[in-house]
Amino acid sequence: TMEDAVEEAAQGASGNPGGLFHSILHGEDGLHARTHRAAALRTAAVVSPWLAEGQFAGACQGLLRLDAGCTAAEALALTTHLALPPTHVQWLGQADARAVANIPVPHGGWLFHQGGWVDPAGYAQALLGEARRHASVVFMPGSQVGQLKRLTQGGQSWWQALDAEGHAMAAAPVVVLAGAVDSPQLIQGLTSAATLPLSPVRGQISSLPLQTGIVAPSIPVAGAGYVLPAHDGRLLFGATSDANDQDPAVREADHWHNLSQAAQLGSLPLAPSNALPAGIWGRVGWRAVTPDRLPYIGPLPLDTSPWSTPGQRPPRTDQPRFVPRLRDAQGGVYVITGFGSRGITWAALAGELLASWVTGSPSPIEAPLRDALDPARIVTRARARGMSG
């Protein structure tokens, strides 16, 4: 059973009319880069056949990520060092970048061949449709879970979802918390669970009808902001990023911010104007952001502080895989959240990784990457800070 507080799936930040996905490139090719690359490649593999069938809007024909601080020589040295194939990522100078993107970008950048854009809501509906076909998932819209309660009887245990008034909504051995910025509220109600830091970051997108002076790119272009190919006669671009901001209103100042970024990318005129363009439209959403900018995917860790009492033998917490969890052989509580602005990039791989945790099947990624996404890393790092202090 899938309980959702809203009436339709993908009504939060996923309700935007378009969003991008792509790999990232770091010189050290650490865990952050490797996990995002694995996620982007999996997304490309999943969405490509659906896009070919026309299930939802979008394209997987590459994404250009501008990089003003990189020269051709530095790009060659980096790709040689990382041994990444040009079929995945390649450097384009300004002239080639302009030819590929079909807009006058200000400098060169990286072309991620497995990048692109999709309609997030359409993608979410396609994923939900797959779940319905293969696992008989029942979607329950307009049903907000207020708390979780563990029940035991006859040696069996399961979890019960309750509404705000304490009425039972559903019960199952396994619970997956996938409420983005709302997930911590349910976690806080579980007294034995560790606290997972998660911050809401406000973002506003903008959209304009195609008109004189607007040049739509042929593929998504990102840098300081992003701009997507035209869809339904409009240009979508953005986005702002404001922490500790709960204002739900579409703001004129944020439109100006997005217009400036789109102009710098080459899609809009640079000339300032005293009034916002006619037909401009915007939407506000909140991203769930973790301290290390990697999502939480896996079983919920237990709060290990009670084991600090003298005379009690503490569990191993030096590695995420050893941290005690809120689960047993019959089931447990799992979390999948903290995608930040990369929900489209992460969705496919995150779902498969979570399924491997729940079923005990082989992980779709190697152990170091799984550990980097494990929510128990928060406990491990807290222990390390305590020992160093």
pTM: 0.92
Structure tokens at 251: 């703001």
Q: Tell me the pLDDT band of 389, cut-offs 50, 70 and 90.
A: very low
Q: Is the pLDDT of residue 305 over 70?
A: no
Q: Which domain covers residue 210, as residue numbers? A: 199-289
Q: 47 and 179 share a domain? A: no
Q: 61 and 84 share a domain? A: yes
Task: Point out the domain boundary residue: 244, 263, 289.
Answer: 289
Q: Determine the pLDDT at residue 122.
A: 95
Q: 190 and 305 share a domain? A: yes
Q: 45 and 192 share a domain? A: no
The region of weakest confidence among 132-141, 263-272, 307-316 is 307-316
Q: Which contacts qualify for 70-73: CB closer than 8 Å, 24 or more apart?
A: 70/108, 70/109, 72/108
Q: Determine the pLDDT at residue 6.
A: 73
Q: Is the pLDDT of residue 33 over 90?
A: yes
Examine residue 303 and state whether it is found in any structural domain, yes or no: yes
Q: Tell me the pLDDT band of 303, cut-offs 50, 70 and 90.
A: confident
Q: 238 and 270 share a domain? A: yes
Examine residue 3 and state whether it is found in any structural domain, yes or no: no
Examine residue 7 and state whether it is found in any structural domain, yes or no: no
Q: Determine the pLDDT at residue 274.
A: 82
Q: 185 and 230 share a domain? A: no
**pLDDT digit string, tens, across residues 164-212:** 888 898 899 999 999 888 888 889 888 889 999 999 999 999 999 998 8
Cα distances from 204 to residues 87, 150, 153, 308, in angstroms, run 33, 39, 48, 44
Q: 186 and 205 share a domain? A: no
Percent of residues, the chain, with pLDDT higher than 70: 94
Separation of alpha carbons 22 and 33, rounded Å: 11
Examine residue 192 and state whether it is found in any structural domain, yes or no: yes
Mean pLDDT across the chain: 91
**pLDDT digit string, tens, across residues 137-161:** 777 777 888 899 998 888 888 899 9
The conformation of residue 184, written as its DSSP 8-state character, comes to H
Q: Is the pLDDT of residue 106 over 60?
A: yes
| SS3 category, 54 | coil
Examine residue 9 and state whether it is found in any structural domain, yes or no: no
Q: Determine the pLDDT at residue 388.
A: 45
Q: 208 and 263 share a domain? A: yes
Q: 194 and 331 share a domain? A: yes
Examine residue 128 and state whether it is found in any structural domain, yes or no: no
Q: Tell me the pLDDT band of 311, cut-offs 50, 70 and 90.
A: low
CB 24 within 8 A of CB 37: yes
CB 56 within 8 A of CB 362: no
What average pLDDT does range 230-247 have in this prediction? 96
Q: Is the pLDDT of residue 133 over 90?
A: no
CB 24 within 8 A of CB 36: yes
Task: Point out the domain boundary residue: 255, 289, 323.
Answer: 289
What average pLDDT does range 100-108 have in this prediction? 97
CATH code of 259's domain: 3.30.9.10
CB proximity list for 129: less than 8 A, separation 6 or greater: none
Examine residue 276 and state whether it is found in any structural domain, yes or no: yes
Measuring CA to CA, which residue among 286, 279, 278, 210 is closest to residue 246?
286
Q: 157 and 300 share a domain? A: yes
Separation of alpha carbons 262 and 106, rounded Å: 11
| SS3 category, 221 | strand
CB 12 within 8 A of CB 285: yes
Separation of alpha carbons 304 and 27, rounded Å: 36
Q: 114 and 152 share a domain? A: no
Q: Which contacts qualify for 177-181: CB closer than 8 Å, 24 or more apart?
A: 177/300, 177/333, 177/334, 177/335, 177/336, 177/337, 178/335, 178/336, 178/337, 179/337, 180/12, 180/13, 180/286, 180/287, 180/288, 180/337, 180/339, 181/286, 181/287, 181/288, 181/337
Q: Tell me the pLDDT band of 307, cut-offs 50, 70 and 90.
A: low
Q: Determine the pLDDT at residue 13.
A: 67
**pLDDT digit string, tens, across residues 332-382:** 999 999 999 999 999 999 999 999 999 999 999 999 999 999 999 999 988
CA–centroid distance for 304 within its chain? 28
What average pLDDT does range 226-250 have in this prediction? 97
Structural domain count, the chain: 3
Structure tokens at 279: 């037909």
276 phi and psi angles, rounded to 5 deg: -65, 145
Q: 302 and 156 share a domain? A: yes
Separation of alpha carbons 344 and 279, rounded Å: 27
Task: Point out the domain boundary residue: 289, 318, 349.
Answer: 289
Percent of residues, the chain, with pLDDT higher than 90: 71
**pLDDT digit string, tens, across residues 1-23:** 787 777 676 666 678 999 999 99
**pLDDT digit string, tens, across residues 324-344:** 999 988 899 999 999 999 999
DSSP secondary structure of 68-98: TT--HHHHHHHHHHHT--TTTEEEE-HHHHH
Examine residue 10 and state whether it is found in any structural domain, yes or no: no
